């Protein structure tokens, strides 16, 4: 929960609450919320859920500072499906996944690869007809 206290402080200030107001809103004594911001205490799961609702953020954002959008989740799902295709075809270490190699390519190189991939897919479609 790196920088959790700072995230709480920023959210509290954004919504215009005092530490005392939030402590009472959560059903605690006046100083409890401040101990979360100072990272002296960690809130329970139930309290985290209440805080996420109060601030209208995901638990993931509240805890880790990262918001995962629906689009990002879909992209991750696609990556896993592509990896499964490699595995199904007994390709253990696909060269195409070598990130260090990708970083050396120019924009033109990436466009060329995209065009080549489209050509290979079209060729396969024709062969399957």
| Domains of the chain, start order | 4-64 (1.10.260.40), 70-128 (no CATH)
Q: Mean of the per-residue pLDDT values for the chain?
A: 89
Q: Residue 128: which pLDDT band, with cuts at 50, 70 and 90?
A: very high
Q: Residue 76: which pLDDT band, with cuts at 50, 70 and 90?
A: confident
pLDDT, one tens digit per residue, over 38-53 is 999 999 999 999 999 9
- Compute CA distances 31 → 24, 81, 96, whole Å: 9, 49, 54
- Rounded (10°) angle between helices 4-15 and 45-55: 40
Element housing 51 (H / E): helix 45-55
- Answer whether residue 98 shows pLDDT above 90: no
pLDDT of residue 1: 65
Closest CA to 17 of 29, 6, 5, 25: 25
pTM: 0.53
For residues 39 and 8, the answer to whether their CB atoms sit within 8 Å is no
pLDDT of residue 64: 86
């Amino acid at each position: 929960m790196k920088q959790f206290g700072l995230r709480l402080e920023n959210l509290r200030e954004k919504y215009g609450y005092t530490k005392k107001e939030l402590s009472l809103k959560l059903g605690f004594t006046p100083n409890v919320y401040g101990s979360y911001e100072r990272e002296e205490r960690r809130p329970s799961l139930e309290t985290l859920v209440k805080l996420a609702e109060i601030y209208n953020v995901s638990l993931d954002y509240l805890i880790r500072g990262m918001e995962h959008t629906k689009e990002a989740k879909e992209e991750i799902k696609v990556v896993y499906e592509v990896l499964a295709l490699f595995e199904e075809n007994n390709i253990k270490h696909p060269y195409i996944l070598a990130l260090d190699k990708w970083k050396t390519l120019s924009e033109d190189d990436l466009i060329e690869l995209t065009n080549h991939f489209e050509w290979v897919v079209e060729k396969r479609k024709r062969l399957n007809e």
